[in-house]
Structure 1
Amino acid sequence: MILATLRLECRIFFATPAGGLAFVLMLALSVCALVAGESQHALDERARQAHARAVQGAFEAWRGALVRIEATGIAKSPHEAQPMNLSVPVALAPGPLPAFALGLRELLPSQATLSPWNTSATVFPAYQFQNPTLLALGRFDLNFVTIVLLPLLMIAVSSDTLGRERARGTLRLLLAQGARLESLAGWRLILRNTWIVLPLMLASAAYAASAAPVESWIFYLLWLAATGLYAGVWLGLIALAVAWYRRTEAVAASLVAAWTAVVLVLPAVLAAAAEASYPAPSRLAYLSELRAAQIDASREVDRLTRGYLLDHPELTISDQAAPSFHRDAYLANLEVERRTASILAAFDRSRADRQSSLARAQYASAALVAQRLLNRLAGADEARYWRFQAGVRACLAHLADAVGPSVVSGQRIRLAEVEGATACAIDPPSLRELIVESRWPVFYLVSLAAVLLLFARRRLRRPPD
């Protein structure tokens, strides 16, 4: 009886305009999202490569001049191969599934230039410290399709799961012929929503097989599992609504209200609450302090020079005609770093507090949990970008410490020291770290889906009214 009903349901699903349209629409949305994601990823890669070529070219020219000076002892210009002009590119490696989630690429930096001329305040000049979290859901990518649009299409094809029989009065006839209400509703929901989830999985699998490197396949499988869990939560919520309400209109209205609350309202409220509870320091105040520090440092170069030499008595000022403004700029940068360190620390504390608050509050919305989980698996989560920024600042401090004695003493850095000075390793999170970080979100989605399906099953086991 069930098999016959399912075969009939399958034919009805594609015979009706709504079912066929939903299948085609999901397939088209998934393909378009992947095309948009891959296009953006290609643009980002070209920008990273252009930046790396430009900075690396300057570094190779600088290094070549230093090699020649060490070999011949002759410099064409006092500016040539000076340590302050040393610069190396550094970039955030693309995530394992870059086309799946655009994430915060336009909001947070993914490349930088390490140079003694830069400070923590200027190494990322084009970016803000405050992150508009809500924009993370506003980009059209595969994660957006999964989090926002997939539930809507599931609701569209599932609202009348039992409504047609109840309206016609044929539900009792089906039950009298041996069909069980919970089995009938359950298999119908599984069948209909499989035809909605299947296009998403087919499109993503085709992309992963053709474009993703082999080492990313494990991340894709985890992403696929997380998508299935999120769909399972909505399947449980739809099943509960179908079991609870008799009329198709009531089922649809309740589910659309739930979608609005879970996908739109709650993430916005939670993000706004986190911003209000842990506001970032004023960026205007930071820029004012930065400017004041730069002005004061430029006025106190002599004092800063004496202080630095007192801390490093082994250094002596040579007779080499090194540009004095290199030393002045370096010492001014040290003063700027000192003066602005507390404000940068306040920004970091505020960001960490907001993220910690959101990490706890995310469990109020399954959509927010799934969005953070899918972004993390795709390599587009905010923590990855902040980890990169912290790594760049650490590398910048290491470079400044390495070239500082040479700059202040007016000497060129030795070629043997260049590799150690420019060493910068910013490792992305490992698979193990991602799995550990994802254990509670996964447990939450599994538990929520199981609870919803259990309540729906218990409701459907009651005799029909």
Structure 2
Amino acid sequence: MSIVRLIARDELRMMARNRVAMIAFALLVLLTLVAVVSSRAHQNGIAGLRDRHARAAETAFDAQPDRHPHRMVHYGTFIFRPLGPLAAFDPGVDAYTGNSMFLEGHRQNTANFGDVRQSSLLVRFGQLTPAFVLQAVAPLLLIFLGYGALAREMESGTLRLLMLQGVGRRRLVGGKLLALGAVALVAGAPAMIGLLLIAGQPGALVLPMLIIALGYAAYLALWAVLILLVSASVRRSRDALLALVALWAVALVLLPRVAPDLASAAVPLANRLQTDVAIARDLRKMGDSHNPDDPHFAAFKQSVLDRYGVATVEDLPVNYKGVVALEGERMTASLFNRYAAASFAAQARQNGIVEAVGLLSPAIALRSLSMAAAGTDFAGHRRFLEQAEAYRYALVQRLNRMQADGVSYADDTAVDAGADRRKRVSGDHWQAMPNFRFVAPTGTALATAALPGLAIVIGWLVIALALLAIVTRRLGERR
């Protein structure tokens, strides 16, 4: 057996004698298994609930009786964001952004009913998921198991004895690293098993799962290297433990908490009330379709008359009120999209600042990688909002077109006793409306989005290995 393996075996025996550490390790494995099972059950339950509500909303819309098409514009419908299989591994921002939207004419609503707003305050501190356990708990366990791997040898004087017996510095560090790496491998195995179970679900994509597995493997390897780097840089085990716990607290608690605050301060984001007031102000400037003297709609009316070659709206082959509804929805949707694009751009700049801070914290980079590959990051939420708006606009414009083509202008403006019945169209039209179907991104797109985070984590690992190699050459020298 090689010297490296002997040293690794001896280090593992030393860890095994620490009963507290072994109990903590067993609890970590158990916690990860519980996280895998509970997270998968929770996500399956949410997915089933959303699917039931989506079908109920579709059924309620299709079951509406004969109505005026514009009444259906205001009746609207609910849609729900579906969950991808990898959301069971890392739910990302889904608990905070909301998962359902009410779609109606003349308005662009936001997503509602996030888990944080409906659950206990404990959800704000992080859900028990495999991703959370590997990101936060596993590194802390590795610290308590390996903080004294090299500092203990220098503190007790056994390092010099090992070197006198012909054990080189590289072999010694290699053996310690092999032992701590084995522990990290076992600690991450339950979560990876959960990831393999997810692979058997419909819609699971192999490429993002490979990126996630590689990212977490590099992350745990990084912590193993950092632990030995700090342990080799101090002379006492106590100092190594304090330094590593401080590093863990800064990387996983302080920087992830400070980064969003810095981003919010650097790039202010208008709240919902400010946005609604600004939109209402701009809507007044755009024109009022109910005002015959409004410049925009007076010019629009004339353009419609010229297009059909008639003198009055009564002579048009289409219902002018429906044509005005089409134009009004086009204008308001354009305004809504402009404000939405500005908000998305501001949030993208905020995320860019957070990712820049990720250069200082591999934990932030790993979270970015994990959420991007799982499709549960801000980009995934934006994808849902954009598809929802595209569906809303198409649905409303289809109803407006139905008013323009299916209801005569004379009936639409009549006020006699039977006018209301003549304005209605058959309820069969609602069943012909297409239902909302979310188009999920491809595996290549998800993997590509996760590559920047993976590059940062691997970059940290390479730098840590280089520093460990430098420190290894000076290991055991008097300081």
* TM norm structure 2: 0.78
Measured in 2, the distance between the counterparts of 1:243 and 1:340 equals 58
Q: Which residue of 2 aligns with 1:160?
A: 148
Measured in 2, the distance between the counterparts of 1:340 and 1:218 equals 36
Residue 184 in structure 1 maps to residue 172 in structure 2: yes
Alignment check: 8 A CA contact 2:229 2:467 kept? yes
Instruction: Output aligned runs, 1:290-305, within 5 Å.
Output: 301-303=290-292
1:203-251 C-alpha deviation (Å, 9 max, x unpaired): 4314633774263444333211110111122222212112211110111
1:255-278 C-alpha deviation (Å, 9 max, x unpaired): 112112222222222221211111
Measured in 1, the distance between the counterparts of 2:381 and 2:144 equals 37
Q: Which residue of 2 aligns with 1:243?
A: 232
Q: Which residue of 2 aligns with 1:112?
A: 101
Measured in 2, the distance between the counterparts of 1:420 and 1:290 equals 33
1:97-144 C-alpha deviation (Å, 9 max, x unpaired): 1211122222213333544x4621x363667xxxxxxx9873332221
Secondary structure at the aligned position of 1:112 is classed as: strand
| Shift in CA distance, 164/293, structure 1 to aligned 2, threshold 3 Å | closer
Secondary structure at the aligned position of 2:101 is classed as: strand
Measured in 2, the distance between the counterparts of 1:38 and 1:103 equals 14
Residue 124 in structure 1 maps to residue 111 in structure 2: yes
| Shift in CA distance, 359/406, structure 1 to aligned 2, threshold 3 Å | same
Aligned-CA RMSD value: 3.8
Alignment check: 8 A CA contact 2:43 2:87 kept? yes
Q: Where does structure 2 lack aligned partners over 5 or more consecutive residues? A: 115-122, 408-423
Measured in 2, the distance between the counterparts of 1:3 and 1:341 equals 62
Q: Where does structure 1 lack aligned partners over 5 or more consecutive residues? A: 66-76, 128-134
Residue 148 in structure 1 maps to residue 144 in structure 2: no
1:298-355 C-alpha deviation (Å, 9 max, x unpaired): 9863548867655545796799xx9x9x999888766754665554343223112222
Q: Which residue of 2 aligns with 1:205?
A: 193
1:369-392 C-alpha deviation (Å, 9 max, x unpaired): 011101112222111001110121
How far has the Cα of 1:152 moved from its partner? 1.0
1:42-83 C-alpha deviation (Å, 9 max, x unpaired): 232132112212112124324xx6xxxxxxxxxxx5559975
Q: Which residue of 1 aligns with 2:160?
A: 172
How far has the Cα of 1:18 moved from its partner? 3.2
| Shift in CA distance, 182/349, structure 1 to aligned 2, threshold 3 Å | same
Measured in 1, the distance between the counterparts of 2:102 and 2:200 equals 28
Q: Which residue of 1 aligns with 2:420?
A: none
Structure 1 counterpart of 2:253, from 264, 273, 288: 264
Structure 2 counterpart of 1:458, from 457, 470, 473: 470
Residue 353 in structure 1 maps to residue 355 in structure 2: no
Letter in 2 for 1:365: S
Measured in 2, the distance between the counterparts of 1:273 and 1:81 equals 46
Alignment check: 8 A CA contact 2:106 2:333 kept? no
| Shift in CA distance, 143/312, structure 1 to aligned 2, threshold 3 Å | farther
Aligned length: 439
Alignment check: 8 A CA contact 1:330 1:407 kept? no
| Shift in CA distance, 390/317, structure 1 to aligned 2, threshold 3 Å | farther
Structure 2 counterpart of 1:439, from 446, 451, 460: 451
| Shift in CA distance, 420/352, structure 1 to aligned 2, threshold 3 Å | farther
How far has the Cα of 1:12 moved from its partner? 3.1
Q: Which residue of 2 aligns with 1:449?
A: 461
Alignment check: 8 A CA contact 1:281 1:346 kept? no
* TM norm structure 1: 0.80
Q: Which residue of 2 aligns with 1:72?
A: none
| Shift in CA distance, 104/54, structure 1 to aligned 2, threshold 3 Å | same
Alignment check: 8 A CA contact 1:100 1:142 kept? yes
Q: Which residue of 1 aligns with 2:391?
A: 395
| Shift in CA distance, 211/454, structure 1 to aligned 2, threshold 3 Å | closer
Percent sequence identity is 21
Residue 384 in structure 1 maps to residue 380 in structure 2: yes
Structure 2 counterpart of 1:281, from 270, 292, 295: 270
Measured in 2, the distance between the counterparts of 1:19 and 1:212 equals 34
Secondary structure at the aligned position of 1:98 is classed as: helix
Measured in 1, the distance between the counterparts of 2:431 and 2:315 equals 24
Letter in 2 for 1:422: P
Instruction: Output aligned runs, 1:384-423, within 5 Å.
Output: 384-408=380-404, 411=407, 422=434
Alignment check: 8 A CA contact 2:373 2:449 kept? no
Measured in 2, the distance between the counterparts of 1:47 and 1:294 equals 37
| Shift in CA distance, 96/38, structure 1 to aligned 2, threshold 3 Å | closer
Q: Which residue of 1 aligns with 2:60?
A: 58
How far has the Cα of 1:408 moved from its partner? 4.8
Alignment check: 8 A CA contact 1:2 1:179 kept? no
| Shift in CA distance, 240/8, structure 1 to aligned 2, threshold 3 Å | closer
